[in-house]
């Protein structure tokens, strides 16, 4: 499912216009992004938790040349599925 399919589904199930559903999805995604940029967790009970994790710098290999390279430290977004979601899937 892609974003436009999600919007269509929400519009149908919530009896909203596509424009309203698009706005709702965009606000939801933007709210999660804004909180992650601030270093905050976003927990949706029963669904999961979005957070930011730090990766340490490490050594790697350039696959084209085979030479060793230094991969810098970075921050990456993470998602941990909640208990209810894991039960549904698994």
Give CA–CA dist 12/70, Å, rounded: 49
**Residue pLDDT, tens place only, 57-89:** 999 999 999 999 999 999 999 999 999 999 999
Model pTM above 0.85: no
- Is the pLDDT at 7 greater than 90? The verdict is yes
Q: What is the DSSP string of the chain?
A: --HHHHHHHHHHHTT--HHHHHHHHHHHHHHHHHHHHTT--EEETTTEEEEEEEE--EEEE-TTT--EEEEPPEEEEEEEE-HHHHHHH-
- Is the pLDDT at 90 greater than 90? The verdict is no
Q: Is the dihedral of CA 30, 5, 9, 51 positive or negative?
A: negative
Q: Given this model, what pLDDT does residue 30 score?
A: 98
């Amino acid at each position: 499912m892609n974003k436009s399919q999600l919007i269509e589904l929400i519009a149908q199930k919530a009896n909203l216009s596509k424009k309203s559903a698009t706005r709702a999805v965009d606000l939801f995604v933007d709210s999660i992004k804004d909180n992650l940029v601030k270093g905050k967790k976003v927990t949706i009970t029963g669904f999961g938790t979005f957070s930011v994790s730090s990766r340490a710098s490490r050594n790697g290999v350039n696959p084209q040349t085979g030479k060793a390279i230094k991969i810098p430290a970075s921050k990456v977004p993470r998602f941990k599925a909640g208990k209810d979601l894991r039960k549904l899937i698994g």
